[in-house]
Amino acid sequence: MSLLFSATQLGKLTLDNRIVIAPMCQYSAQDGKASAWHRIHLGQLALSGAGLLIIEATAVEAAGRISPGDLGLWDDATEAALASVLEDIRHYSDIPIGIQLGHAGRKASCAAPWLGGHQLALNDGGWQTVAPSAHAFNPEDRAPVALEKQDLERLKSAFVDSAQRAARLGIQLIELHAAHGYLLHQFLSPLSNQRQDEYGGSLENRLRFPLEVFHAVRSALPDSVAVGVRLSATDWVEGGWDVEQSITFSQQLETAGSDYVHISSGGLSPQQQITVGPGYQLPFAHDIRKQVKIPVIGVGLITDPQQAENALQKDDADLIALARAVLYDPRWPWHAAAALGAQAKAPPQYLRSEPHGLKGTLVANKG
């Protein structure tokens, strides 16, 4: 029996297998509203046979977008646009769908990657950014405005509002984005958080705002909606956020009722020195998994089905997330099922696509 294709749960949400499609920014929304691109992009991934599809980082307010093209869920118009996309997907796929909610903080107001990724000037479509402290991500960037306490209350409310909108849309899982150098990560790391109040300084203080956001979101949603957190296990910078602090954060999230943690790394500082290789982030997931009882999602240059299976067999993680690998091969779960002697879901329109010798690998979904 393949572990990768065994059923599991995140909170009360049951998954047919342990393949997670990680959230991947598309920079293709229009004023925060999901577009035809999202219908195409999410539609094809919903037919992949994965156990869970998590929608890309979605801003809880307009100023929290990484780029002008970022997806948002902050008002009735953005909610309606995403509702239309999800309605079409649900006609043809029963895959569980989650969404990652976030705020870019000081890394907001940037061009899309294929347009250079640089910070946009205020007279060129950019906007004023905010952060825990008035320290820019890049030295040449304009400094963000340090958040006041009343701003923190407003942002907590924004996360809650977006989470409730997602639940109204039938989204079954909320992932709070505390990774890759965005706002919640900026509060966690001593490199970006230089505050002198109760939200800065000690580890306890730096954890405070991300935990407050988690508590607010979790308490605002029914138990049927799973809630978890994606975090960067390390900044890859000496003196920055690290695995030991990530373990403490994960333990406190577990105590607070988090249904899982999703372990990535980096993104906070241009000074990072990352050692990249196949499965390079799995050791972080392994170390955190040993210290918590909630499921841990591992990610990071996992491209081969046997590699994913081995990671689960070695207790590196409880679930495996794919990002670029599944963009390159949107049928990765189908091919993994064939390689591991398992089954994956497919739309009935595609069942006859199975190659000779692999009949029975695909089973009809209930879309």
Does residue 226 contact residue 11 with C-beta atoms inside 8 Å? yes
Model confidence over 78-131: pLDDT tens digits? 999 999 999 999 999 999 999 999 999 999 999 999 999 999 999 999 999 999
**What's the CA gap between 56 and 66, in Å, rounded?**
12
Catalytic member of 27, 92, 182, 328: 182
The answer to whether 328 is a known catalytic residue is no
> Is residue 367 over pLDDT 90?
no
Residue 356: predicted pLDDT:
86
Residue 358: predicted pLDDT:
86
366: pLDDT confidence band, cut at 50, 70 and 90? confident
pTM, 2 dp: 0.97
359: pLDDT confidence band, cut at 50, 70 and 90? confident
Percent of the chain having pLDDT more than 70?
Answer: 100
Percent of the chain having pLDDT more than 90?
Answer: 97
351: pLDDT confidence band, cut at 50, 70 and 90? very high
CATH assignment of 8-364, among 1.10.10.10, 3.30.450.20, 3.20.20.70, 3.40.640.10: 3.20.20.70
35, 49, 71, 262 from 26: Cα distances, Å = 11, 21, 8, 20
**What's the CA gap between 130 and 231, in Å, rounded?**
20
